[in-house]
Amino acid sequence: MEDKFEGQIEGRNPVMEALKSDTTIDKIYIQKGDGQGSVIKIRRMAQDKKIPVVEADRRKLDDMSLSHNHQGVIAIVPQVDYVSVEDILKRAEDKGEKPFIVVLDEIEDPHNLGSVIRTANGAGVHGIIIPKHRSAGLTATAAKVAAGACFYTPVAKVTNLARTISELKQKGIWFYGADMAGEKTVFETDFSGGVGIVIGNEGKGISRLVKEECDFLVKIPMLGEIESLNASVSAGIFMYAASKCNRKN
């Protein structure tokens, strides 16, 4: 089911955030004998919300786990639709803010996707857009790395990224592609107004058609011996640079 979020959340913090955000949870599996720290809070919150808690041994949780890092807690959730691009724009409108969007062009590593979602939430991004094909999706691994942020920062899937960017440009959003060929650095760029940040594939960068739709190509200055940064790290630098231009705090 390509257009659905996988139906389980793994790890203590992601499950805690899901409980806080009123995400519908059908059942929570907790490792038998684990009654310390955040697990106590999870049990209490689940009891308050009348969510069944099932004790299971470590082997069963290991067999269930998709992320292989469940920390003794797995929540079963109904499958959730990705949002539409219009939903993301509506989110910005409801907050009385200019749209702040991140476009991920064929990011393949779910760890990178999860990390971007987590940082996007902190930076005030209204939503993330990914392509339907050749891209990591909202797997259990991505959700685990996002540490619950996927329940607050929506993700839209589109068939054609270049066309989507072209349509959003007509709505007054400027697109900034992260590319070492950029004339200005991220610290010299004015991100005022509606912003779309484009981050390319881990190895190939931004694809040609998507790059052609970007209004600006912007680079991160590299002062050491290596030539590039991890995609999620680059995205974080761009997001906070843009956030600084558009927010008072």
Which has more confidence, 183 or 165? 165
102 beta partners: 128, 197
Q: What is the pLDDT of residue 117?
A: 95
pLDDT in tens, 145-174: 888 788 889 999 999 999 999 999 999 999
Confidence of residue 21 (pLDDT cuts 50, 70, 90): confident
Are the C-beta atoms of residues 7 and 79 closer than 8 Å to each other? yes
Reply yes or no on whether the pLDDT at 239 is more than 90.
yes
Does residue 216 contact residue 169 with C-beta atoms inside 8 Å?
Answer: no
Asked if the structure places residue 196 within a domain, the reply is: yes
**Residue 141 shares a structural domain with residue 240:** yes
Q: At 185, which helix (H) or strand (E)?
A: strand 184-185
Examine the fold and report which residue of 56, 76, 96 is the final residue of a domain before the chain moves on: 76
Same domain, 101 and 222: yes
Are residues 109 and 68 part of one domain? no
Do 157 and 102 reside in the same domain of the chain? yes
- Domain span at residue 114? 85-246
Q: If you average pLDDT over every residue of the chain, what do you get? A: 89
Angle at the Cα of 74 from the Cα atoms of 72 and 75, rounded to 5 degrees: 150
Please give the average per-residue pLDDT across 210-232, as a whole number: 92
Residue 1: predicted pLDDT: 31
In the predicted structure, residue 220 carries a pLDDT above the cut 90: yes
pLDDT band, very low/low/confident/very high, at 66 (cuts 50, 70, 90): confident
Asked if the structure places residue 3 within a domain, the reply is: no
136/35 same-domain check: no
Number of domains present in the structure of the chain: 2
Global pTM value:
0.74
Q: Are residues 92 and 42 in the same domain?
A: no
pLDDT band at 82, cuts 50/70/90?
confident
pLDDT of 247 reads 64
Q: Is residue 164 part of a domain?
A: yes
| Same-domain pairing of 190 and 165 | yes
Same domain, 37 and 134: no
Work out the percent of the chain whose per-residue pLDDT is above 70.
Answer: 94
